[in-house]
Every structure is written in C-alpha cells, then in structure tokens.
Amino acid sequence: MSFKTDVAANVVANALIYVVVAVGGLVVTPATRLIVARTGQPWYFALGWVLLIIALLLWGAIEWRRRMVARTASPPTTQPEGPYPTVRIFRHKEGRKHNDEVFHQVFDFFEKAGWRVEGGSTDLPQHENGIRIAGKAGYDLEAVKWGLTVLGIEPVVDARPNPPEVLEVIVGRYDGRANDMLADARKALAQPQTSPAVPDWLLAVAENDIGNAQTFLYMPRETIYTRPALTAPEPYVDFWFGVINATVYEMTVTGKGRFFYLQHPLSTEPSALNDAQMIIRHGDYNQFAFRQWIRPEVANAILAGPVRHFTAGSFVLMFRFVDSAGKEHSVEKSFGDSFHIQV
C-alpha cells in the first residue's frame, strides 16, 4: 500500500474509536432508563449492561485499528526479485562494422560479474556512435555507469521520456577500446613476482592497491537496500550491498558487527545468505546479502512505531585478499552511526 493509503486507514480506524466513545457517552443515560422501564430491574443492573455493550464495541474498534496498522505498516519493496539485475546489451550495426570487440568486452564484463545479460541488435540512427545506457534512475543504473567506467568507457545516458524497465546498453561505433589492464593483471599476477612477464607498471599498480584497497572498493548508496519479512513467524530483514571492486585483487567478503535499532544493537549478528558466493573478482560488480534475525517484539515495534530504519551501528564489511607474494591482507568498509538503512 502507498503512504497515502496507510494514513487514510489509520484515520478511519481512529475515527471509529472516537465515534464509539462519543456515542456511548451520549446514550448511556437514555439506554439505562429504557432498560429499567422495560425490565423493571434496578438502575445499576441496567447501567452495567449498557457499559458492557459500550466496552465490547470499543474493544472491537481498537482491535480493528490494530489489525489495520499491522496490515499497512510493512512498506512496499521496489527491489528486484532476484539477487542479480538484468541488463540488455544491444549491438548497433555500425559498431559491428568498425569495432565489434568492444561489444564482446562489455557483454563478457557484465556476464562474468553475475548479471543476467540479454543480447540484441539495433540500427537506429541516434545510436550509431558511442556507447549509451538507458534505464530508470537507481542502483542498477549507477552500477552500469561504474562498470563501464572500470572498462575505461565513458557512457552517454540516453535520455528518454519513458525509460525502459530493464536497463539497456547500446554499443555503437566506438573509436576507442575497452581497458584491458584488469585482464592483463589477472594473468600477470598469477605468475611468480620474479617472472619477467610481470611489467614494472603492473607491479606498481598491485603494490599501490594493497595500501589503497579501501578507496578502490565502491559501494554506491543506490545499491544498498533491504528486503524485510517482519510479519513472518520468525521475523528477519535481509540487507543487500552492491560492491564494485576496482582493485587488481580478488576479494573474499564477510560481515562483522551488529546493526542498531533505536540506538541499541540487535541481539545477534547478521549471517551471509550464501557463503559460497561471497567473492568478488577485480573489475567486477557483485551483490552480497546478510540475513538479520529479529525478535518478534522488535519486529512489532518497527511495524507499529514511526522509526522504520536501522543504523549501521558497528556492522562492517570485511574484504580479504592475497597479494602476488602470497601475503594475506584485510580491509574494512564501515558506514557510521549516521548511515540509515530504510526498512
């Protein structure tokens, strides 16, 4: 339901309670006299029956309001159903004539990053030159921008009155070529550091990335969201984080610490949904999910209360990698107490 629908439901429920109280106060005396006149019972027996009926009506109105609030409190989710987004990559006929390699590099990049990739072709004149992206604003669009930038491509946003529901990348005639540095790094760093096949510039990049890995791990705000199940028998909230790895190293991702609600840490730490997929290769984009189990009383407080967000609290993402010399390193990405994650 929308926010306006939630407000309307609460207004109606509250109004019903006020009506029961007001009408009950007005009819208590006439109803008592009517029962005394019809049955001949003492006035206090008649008054007791009238108050009992009013109390039952009031209880019914309050219970109805509680159920309305519980039904409308869960906010709608606009996030995709699957863990990976979809992108459609179109090959323009001019691009195919002059530099078809770029199309294959872009296609392979997103496919290896775990995206659901759909291919297509086009010959529209407005898409003849350059590489264009089209889609609704959000975390998917930002991730595509970052991914193409990692490839060394500056995309052009294709402004349309009605953006497509599924993200599109149109590869036209492109006079440059995608950046192969990351692919070269993968091959070179797999060899011993003393190998003559490793150029000095690549060793310098690898050494620089060790000390600056935290800077080269991007988490765009648009890629962070939740999928709550607060009305489930065992309530939980899934936290999703999108990460772009612009280092030359493959990273293993784990979580540490606790999320906070109303400035208090939750009772347990979140756990990864799929430990086997908690890896991100260099130059790739991936999404990582952590399930946070919540006590029923906390879930009810979130549903009924005005605060519908968590703060990151002490939770951090841990990234571990091994350099070309076999030494293990770890990097933390924290969020801070002021970082709100909406439910």
Q: What is the CATH number of the domain that holds 281?
A: 2.60.40
What amino acid occupies position 69?
V
Cβ contact 341:310 at 8 Å:
yes
Residues 59 and 127 in one domain: no
Least confidently predicted of 56-60, 140-144, 309-313: 56-60
- Assess if residue 151 is contained within a domain: yes
pLDDT for res 3: 39
Specify if 9 maps to a domain: yes
Q: Which of 73, 95, 120 finishes a domain?
A: 73
Judge if 338 and 223 occupy the same domain: yes
- Last residue of one domain, picked from the residues 145, 171, 197: 171
332 near 214, Cβ under 8 Å?
yes
- The verdict on 224 and 331 lying in the same domain is yes
Please list, in sequence order, all residues whose beta carbon lies within 8 angstroms of the beta carbon of residue 91, skipping any fewer than 6 positions away. 100, 103, 119, 120, 121, 122, 171
Q: Which two tokens stand for residue 139?
A: 């975390």
Total number of domains constituting the chain: 3
Q: Based on the fold, state whether residues 226 and 323 are members of the same structural domain.
A: yes
Determine the pLDDT at residue 79: 41
Please state, for a pLDDT cut of 90, what percent of the chain lies above it. 12
Task: Give 226-229 contacts, CB < 8 A, sequence gap 24+.
Answer: 226/310, 226/341, 226/342, 226/343, 227/77, 227/79, 228/74, 228/75, 228/77, 228/343
Q: What is the pLDDT of residue 236?
A: 92
Does residue 78 lie in a domain region? no
**What is the band of 251 on the pLDDT scale with cuts at 50, 70, 90?**
very high
Residues 244 and 335 in one domain: yes
Any idea which of 86-95, 113-122, 153-162, 192-201 has the lowest mean pLDDT?
A: 192-201
Domain membership of residue 188 (yes or no) is no
Residue 254 forms part of a structural domain? yes
Residue 302 shares a structural domain with residue 222: yes
Q: Please state the pTM of the whole predicted model.
A: 0.44
Please say if the pLDDT value at position 82 is more than 60.
no
Final residue of a structural domain among 34, 50, 73? 73
* Within-domain flag for 111: yes
At 90, which CATH number? 3.30.70.2390
Out of 43-57, 211-225, 322-336, pick the least confident: 43-57
Question: Do both 49 and 95 map to the same domain?
Answer: no
State mean pLDDT over 267-284.
85
| Structural domain for 21, as ranges | 3-73
**Same domain (yes/no): 98, 148:** yes
Q: Is residue 248 part of a domain?
A: yes
> Which pLDDT score is estimated for 110?
80
Assigned domain for 212 exists: no
